[in-house]
Amino acid sequence: MMDAARERDRADPLREYRDRFALPDGVIYLDGNSLGALPKATAERMAGVVRGEWGEGLIRSWNPGENGGADWIGLPRRVGGRIARLVGAAPDTVVAADSTSVNLFKLIAAALAMRPGRKVVLSEPGNFPTDLYMIAGLEAQGLAERRLAPRDRLADALDGDVALLLLTHVHYKTGEVFDMAALTRAAHDAGALVLWDLSHSAGAIPVGLDASGADFAVGCGYKYLNGGPGAPAFAYVAQRHHAALEQPLTGWMGHAAPFAFSDDYAPAPGVGRLLCGTPPVLALAALEVGVDLVAEIGIDRLAAKSRALSEFFRDCLDGLGVALELASPADPMQRGSQLSFRHRQAYAICQALIARGVIGDFRDPDILRFGFAPAYVSFEDAARAARHLAEVLETGEWQREEFRERAAVT
């Protein structure tokens, strides 16, 4: 098993990229789907932004320019444009700003405003909680009505009251991938708009936002884009909606002329009107490095290696005689960059693995989740992780008291 793993690593066209990340000794990191690892270049870039752009440049760094201006004001559009290429979108259709949650609010509200007379926002139970909660926020305002239907009943639930279909492209628990083009078409046929949450897709698998006809999308900067803990998120609006787009978080950075300091709001042209407050410069600079590294490696190569890794991990488990219930689709083309298993003791098993230096994660109530971020996870990592998992189950060490106590963040 180990020999096979090393053989695969030697043949891996992405093997050189592992060294571009700062990975701790003694850790096998299978949680890049929750927090991407640190690109080494980010540490340098952050030092430069802090000491150079902020410390030396001070307020002058907001402007672009020959005199060393760092163009902070351009960061949300610039980083957005780079993310756009990773999700199949035209460059001027994406901004990097705020959190995924806040961007969901903007775009759910924008969709409702575009479909007067319709109030239903349709999603599935078990979608990532913040997606469901942000609909609830608009529901409490009296502006939306939340409707949940299981995946196999979504088509039936798409009636004439639905303003927006809001789905997460790759499910956070199972990794199952929705057919973006087909569901977008179904929603459009019902007169509804579609908003895709790409938090577990962007940087992991190819996404064709423009090609699928999607209306809106949001996504996370701190998972496969390696933007750092709590990195800014992104938001996409299809070009055809730019002129009509109205969103309620009408902050000064989304104004057509923020520095005219007018009393009255006038939206910036295009996707710029999605901006709200002052851009989080330090965080955007870190995100930019992560996004650039993903772009350099290339989404197709990342997706191919990720599938190979997760299949290899399953083969290793089979070889070790580990029979766990797979919660992810068995077909690697039907899942994102993760493998999830169901086990009643998932939490304790996860903790026992962490104690051995194998970091995956647990999702309530019974999901044991392993992410195979292909930019820095090796086949040897996968083989070793499989062996640790086999040993944890075999020895029953997960039964120890210390592995049952729930942490604040799981």
Kindly list the catalytic residues.
128, 197, 222-223, 369
128 known member of a binding site: yes
3-state secondary structure of 57: coil
Query: Nearer to a copy of itself by C-beta: 137 or 298?
Result: 137
Instruction: Select the residue interacting with a copy of itself from 229, 269, 394, 400 (CB under 8 A).
Output: 229
Q: Which residues pair with 96 in a beta bridge?
A: 234
Q: Identify the H or E element spanning 338.
A: strand 338-342
Q: Does 357 contact a copy of itself by CB under 8 A?
A: no
Residue 244 near a copy of itself by CB under 8 A: no
131 annotated to bind ligand: yes
Among the listed ranges 63-71, 162-170, 201-209, 316-324, the one in contact with a copy of itself (CB under 8 A) is 63-71
- Give just the sign of the alpha carbon dihedral 10, 12, 13, 19: negative
Annotated binding-site residue? 101: yes
How many other C-beta atoms lie within 10 A of the C-beta of residue 148? 16
CB neighbours of residue 325 within 10 Å = 10
- Measuring CA to CA, which residue among 346, 273, 240 is closest to residue 97? 273
Q: Is position 348 an interface residue for a copy of itself (rule: CB under 8 A)? A: no
Contact between 148 and a copy of itself per CB under 8 A: yes
Determine whether the annotation assigns residue 93 to a binding site. Answer: no
User: How many whole angstroms separate alpha carbon 373 and alpha carbon 37?
Assistant: 9
Choose one: 200-208, 224-232, 295-303, 332-340; the region binding a copy of itself (CB under 8 A): 224-232
310 has binding-site annotation: no
4 scored as a contact of a copy of itself (CB under 8 A): no
Residues 146, 152, 154, CA angle at the centre, nearest 5°? Answer: 35
Pair 194, 179: CB distance under 8 Å: no
**Is 252 annotated in some ligand binding site?**
yes
Name which of residues 276 to 315 contact a copy of itself (CB under 8 A): 276-284, 286
CB of 105 to a copy of itself, least distance (A): 6
Q: Which stretch binds a copy of itself (CB under 8 A): 201-209, 247-255, 294-302, 391-399?
A: 247-255
* Phi and psi, residue 74, nearest 5°: -85, -5
Burial of 237 (0-12, 13-18, 19+ CB in 10 A): buried
Torsion of the alpha carbons at 258, 80, 139 and 145, rounded to the nearest 10: 130
In whole angstroms, what is the distance from residue 207 CA to residue 171 CA?
Answer: 14
Tell me if 219 contacts a copy of itself by CB under 8 A: no
Q: Applying CB under 8 A, does 59 fall inside the site for a copy of itself?
A: yes
Q: Is 200 annotated as a binding residue?
A: yes
For residues 117-146, which are near a copy of itself according to CB under 8 A?
A: 125-130, 132-134, 136-138, 140-141, 143
Which CB atom, from 321 or from 365, has the smaller least distance to a copy of itself? 365
Among positions 14-43, residues that touch a copy of itself (CB under 8 A) are 22-24, 27, 29, 31, 34-35, 37-38, 42-43
Among 213, 251, 270, 319, binds a copy of itself (CB under 8 A): 251
Instruction: Give whole-number Cα distances, 152 to 123, 183, 194, in Å.
Output: 12, 11, 17
**If phi over 0 gives left and psi between -120 and 50 gives alpha, with beta otherwise, what is residue 143?**
alpha
User: How many amino acids of this chain bind a copy of itself (CB under 8 A)?
Assistant: 99
Residue number with CB closer to a copy of itself (51 or 240): 51
Annotated binding-site residue numbers: 100-101, 128-131, 168, 197, 200, 222, 252, 278
Annotated binding-site residue numbers for pyridoxal 5'-phosphate: 100-101, 128-131, 168, 197, 200, 222, 252, 278
